[in-house]
């Protein structure tokens, strides 16, 4: 008799012996607990049904049965239990224990939105950004009015960059100030991993604190003072009047993917501006294997295909390189990858995106690229150069000779400063096409942008320190 059948018999025995008034108060871990929760769930207790389903959905448990778990979640969801709807959404969206079905997942999301669940409205807004920007803005605004920091910060970023939301830096500063304000009710900052994996607003208040300072620099003092006064007056349940002038809707002149005219002649790199500190996410500590690391951060590294004009692009007379996403629309790379190349495309899997330079310092080979908002998956963390140690295992991810998503492994063999630029010397492979790619530590933190190597010497490869892009 299998272990599962042994448990089922034990549950039946325990159920027969259970007191009539026994209650299910926690996720069951024993046969007796399962019996209590099964009885309560059968009697119509939605909370008990969720607890029972959670136990059945646990792969490490003794009674793992995801199909049965889904039945109990469905029963609780039919009673309007939001937790059950979230479990069903996650199971179908990610394919956890059940067949992946994102269309069905959306039906659970819709039901949770109708019940007002903040996590569901946040996810719905995220999905709607590319489908119906106006509906997304309304969802974010309603959450922001309730005090949801994630929605407030999303509105701040949206108004700062433009694209799916009108570009209005005064409005961006307003929401950044509100999100950064102290004394926030943590219940109202409910989020969801789908939203977090896209925008990395883990510590929302801290992100907003640094972001507000960056936005404030772009506003005249008088307008900034007016916005600060308005933000101080914010209270839950209140939306602001429009703050300040609306700028051009297409931030930095970025055309939609696949559209836009080619810039004639050679590109003069825009003036260099350090990356905002809000993009310098705290480094993770947990080391992972090469396979998991690549699955996690590989999607942040894109192939760069650059050409002087569309004709050379069609003729495949192009320059290959790499670039690393720092947020949903900002990438860093080396200037020698894109210098004098007006036509720049990013490639990853089946996705091709048009990019434009948004800042460059040719003397230090640091450049930035920008794409339409909401298109990229950012690196999870950035580790300071001073924190690195010679001998650590590191991984390079780039596109040597245009070969997408190539992983290499090596060690940190030195930490150098050359003409004021800090470098990580590594034995991880760097070759033509890898320039602008990422060098990551064993926890998946970005530590450098792979830049050059010495042709006649093995292991003499160099990456600009990642935190130099914030200077």
Residue 201 has pLDDT above 90, yes or no: no
| 359 confidence band (pLDDT: 50, 70, 90) | very high
In eight-state DSSP terms, residue 23 is -
Q: What is the mean pLDDT of residues 266-292?
A: 87
pLDDT tens digits for range 406-439:
889 999 999 998 888 999 999 998 876 688 999 9
Q: Give exposure, 48-69, as e/b (b: 16+ Cβ within 10 Å).
A: bbbbbbbbbbbeeeebebeeeb
Out of 61-70, 262-271, 368-377, 445-454, pick the least confident.
262-271
Max distance between CA atoms of the chain, in angstroms, equals 84
Q: What is the mean pLDDT of residues 140-147?
A: 85
Nearest CA to 74 out of 59, 61, 62, 57 is that of 57
- Residue predicted with more confidence, 45 or 19: 45
pLDDT tens digits for range 71-112:
999 999 999 999 999 999 999 999 988 999 999 999 999 999
For 183, left (φ over 0), alpha (ψ -120 to 50), or beta?
left
pLDDT tens digits for range 165-200:
777 888 889 899 988 885 444 445 678 888 888 777
Catalogue all structural domains in the chain, each as residue range(s) with its CATH number.
3-114 (1.25.40.10), 132-249 (no CATH), 264-471 (2.40.10.120)
Residue 398 has pLDDT above 70, yes or no: yes
pLDDT at 436: 93
Cα 167 to Cα 157, 196, 287: the distances in Å are: 9, 23, 39
| 24 confidence band (pLDDT: 50, 70, 90) | confident
Cα 403 to Cα 23, 259, 399, 407, 434: the distances in Å are: 59, 25, 5, 10, 9
pLDDT at 378: 92
Contact 86, 116 (CB under 8 A): no
pLDDT at 455: 54
Q: How far apart are the C-alpha atoms of 22 and 94, rounded to whole Å? A: 35
| 264 confidence band (pLDDT: 50, 70, 90) | very low
**High-pLDDT (> 90) share of the chain, %:** 36
Instruction: Return the ∠ at Cα 69 (arms to 66 and 73), rounded to 5°.
Output: 135
pLDDT at 458: 57
Q: What is the mean pLDDT of residues 113-133?
A: 88
pTM score of the predicted model: 0.49
Contact 424, 466 (CB under 8 A): no
Q: What is the mean pLDDT of residues 44-71?
A: 87
| 380 confidence band (pLDDT: 50, 70, 90) | very high
pLDDT at 463: 94
The rounded mean pLDDT for the chain is: 81
């Amino acid at each position: 008799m299998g272990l599962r059948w042994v448990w089922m018999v034990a549950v039946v025995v325990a159920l027969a012996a259970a007191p009539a008034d026994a209650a299910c108060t926690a996720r069951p871990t024993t046969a007796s607990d399962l019996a209590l929760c099964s009885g309560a769930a059968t009697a119509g207790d939605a909370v008990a049904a969720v607890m029972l389903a959670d136990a059945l959905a646990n792969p490490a448990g003794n009674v793992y049965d995801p199909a049965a778990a889904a039945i109990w979640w469905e029963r609780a969801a039919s009673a309007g239990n939001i937790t059950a709807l979230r479990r069903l959404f996650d199971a179908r969206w990610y394919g956890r224990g059940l067949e992946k079905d994102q269309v069905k997942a959306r039906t659970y999301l819709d039901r949770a939105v109708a019940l007002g669940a903040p996590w569901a409205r946040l996810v719905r807004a995220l999905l709607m950004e590319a489908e119906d920007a106006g509906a997304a803005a309304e969802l974010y605004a309603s959450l922001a009015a309730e005090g949801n920091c994630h929605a407030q910060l999303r509105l701040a970023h949206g108004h700062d960059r433009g694209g799916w939301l009108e570009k209005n830096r005064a409005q961006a500063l307003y929401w950044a100030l509100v999100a950064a304000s102290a004394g926030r009710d943590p219940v109202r900052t409910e989020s969801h991993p789908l939203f977090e994996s896209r925008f990395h607003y883990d510590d929302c208040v801290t992100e907003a604190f640094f972001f507000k300072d960056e936005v404030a620099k772009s506003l005249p003092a008088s307008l900034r003072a007016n916005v600060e006064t308005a933000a101080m007056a914010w209270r839950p349940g209140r939306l602001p009047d429009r703050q300040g002038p609306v700028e051009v809707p297409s931030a930095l002149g970025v055309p939609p993917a696949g559209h836009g005219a080619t810039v004639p002649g050679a590109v003069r790199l825009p003036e260099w501006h350090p990356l905002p500190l809000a993009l310098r996410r705290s480094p993770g500590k947990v080391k992972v294997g090469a396979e998991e690391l690549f699955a996690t951060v590989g999607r942040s590294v894109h192939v760069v295909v650059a050409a002087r004009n569309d004709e050379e692009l069609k003729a495949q007379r192009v320059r290959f390189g790499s670039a690393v996403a720092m947020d949903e629309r900002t990438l860093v790379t080396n200037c020698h990858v894109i210098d004098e190349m007006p036509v720049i495309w990013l490639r990853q899997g089946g996705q091709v995106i048009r990019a434009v330079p948004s800042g460059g310092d040719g003397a230090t080979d640091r450049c930035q690229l920008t794409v339409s908002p909401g298109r990229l998956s950012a690196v999870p963390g950035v580790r300071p150069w001073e924190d690195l140690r010679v001998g650590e295992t590191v991984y390079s991810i780039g596109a040597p000779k245009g070969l997408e998503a190539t992983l290499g492994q090596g060690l940190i063999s030195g930490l150098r400063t050359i003409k004021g630029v800090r470098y990580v010397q590594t034995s991880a492979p760097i070759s033509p096409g890898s320039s602008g790619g990422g060098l990551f530590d064993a926890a998946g933190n970005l530590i450098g942008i792979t830049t050059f190597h010495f042709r006649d010497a093995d292991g003499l490869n160099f990456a600009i320190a990642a935190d130099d892009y914030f200077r």
